[in-house]
Structure 1
């Protein structure tokens, strides 16, 4: 499985509770696409949310986020990690 970092824009003012609910929505359906979301981070002031996942493809990551109701604006492969 490959790792991906996806980015969501326009979530200005997101709270910790809203981030946790969005992450739980992804976790509830991730297995259907063979994805595992590891972590999520948010910058409430900038409205940017980042999610780290393991997945068979960027398209699988996109599908989970779309189905969970918060489509990703960007999905980037992570070829190297330390």
Structure 2
């Protein structure tokens, strides 16, 4: 399954707790789209959120965010994990 990293840019910063709640909503919706949101990272002061997701396509990952909470990514990149 392809691996994607998405990036969100929110003006004015973002609270870690709000991102945690959005992630929970993703987990509730992801199964219907064969998507698995794995991890996320947050820069609260800069309003940056990064989500790592396994999905059949970037479109499927986008759909889960849209349906779960409406906070769609500004960019989605297909990535490969390295060590």
- Measure, in 1, the Cα distance between the counterparts of 2:34 and 2:7: 19
Pick closer, same or farther for the CA change 1:3–1:18 going to 2, 3 Å.
Answer: same
Aligned partner of 1:39 in structure 2 is 39
Provide the residue aligned with 2:58 in structure 1: 58
Runs of 4+ in 1 over 3 A off after TM superposition: none
CA distance in 2, matches of 1:13, 1:80: 28
Q: State the TM-score, normalized to the length of structure 1.
A: 0.91
Give structure 2 stretches of 5+ with no counterpart: none
Is 2:77 the counterpart of 1:76?
yes
Aligned residues: CA RMSD? 1.3
Deviation per CA, 1:53-76: give whole Å up to 9, x if none. Answer: 101001101111111221111100
Q: Distance in 2 between matches of 1:5 and 1:11?
A: 20
The TM-score, its normalising length taken from structure 2, stands at 0.90
